[in-house]
Amino acid sequence: MDELQGEERLERPKVLLPVVLFIATIITTVVAGALYQGADILNAPSTLWTGVPFSASLILILGTHELGHYVASRRHGVATTLPVFIPGPPIPPMIGTFGAVIRIKSPITTKNALVDIGASGPLSGFVVAIVVTAIGLKLSTVMPVPSVTGALGLGSSLIFKLITYLTVGTAPEGYDVMLHPVAFAGWIGMFVTAMNLLPIGQLDGGHIVYALIGRRHRAFSTAMIAALVALGFYSWTGWFVWAALISMIGMWHPPIEDQEAPMDLRHRATTAAAIAVFILTFMPTPFYIV
């Protein structure tokens, strides 16, 4: 028997559009992965397969993240769409996708449900990203740092540094780790996790903050936007773009139906875990010019 919320039966999500966009995203991320490998896919189409490891790793992380939200929503009787992947340009520095989303279509009733739905995505995606990163770093090589200028460098989060140390060790002076495409997908997965856990608006981190502080969430989100702008001056200018995008989307959060019921101990632990993951994955300077 289908699960009921009150007297409403959860609608069966529409399948066609998510499937079409999923297939399109597989194609664009495979192309992106091949181009990052230096493949000449126009003159040698067979080299397209070199993009499969990157594509499969990235889609696994993003898909696990969104399925976490989806399963938690259904468990709490909240109607949602299926996870929808968004294909993007496959030409570097783009990665062939703008990520994946689900849309919540019915009210969330309690703080416990809000924490479950908000945290389940980044926590589950984070676990997969750790495994993918570890495998990818094992496949990576330590090479002399090329004497070039103007190249795009990647920052390292605390967790990425730790996994690098455990799998590769410490690179000698003048050397660095040349990331295998699977490791690059893991890096992206951790970056996406941190961005989703920003405690602002209706991002995953915003859901968790709303469960913690309720209607003060809007003022807190405004303060976090100011913090992103400050980071834009002192570290990565891309924070200006993030601050603008989040401001345009809006910092309002829909109220939950039961504002009074307290969060139980298990969900407080889930909140603490989400905060820890944010600290481990956040990078003040995710990109820089060498």
Give this prediction's pTM.
Answer: 0.92
Structure tokens at 129: 């990203």
pLDDT digits (tens, 9 = 90+) for 133-158: 999 999 999 988 877 777 788 999 99
Which residue type is seen at 136? G
Model pLDDT, residue 10: 56
Q: Does the structure show a pLDDT above 90 at 86? A: yes
Local structure of 167: helix, strand or coil = helix
Q: Does the structure show a pLDDT above 90 at 112? A: yes
Q: Does the structure show a pLDDT above 80 at 290? A: no
CB 192 within 8 A of CB 61: yes
Identify the domain containing residue 119 by its residue range: 4-289
pLDDT digits (tens, 9 = 90+) for 175-200: 899 999 999 999 999 999 999 999 99
Model pLDDT, residue 238: 95
CB 222 within 8 A of CB 95: no
pLDDT band for position 121 (cuts 50, 70, 90): very high
Q: Domains in the chain: how many in total?
A: 1
157 vs 162: CA distance, rounded Å: 9
pLDDT band for position 2 (cuts 50, 70, 90): very low
The closest of 38, 22, 198, 160 to 96, measured between CA atoms, is: 22
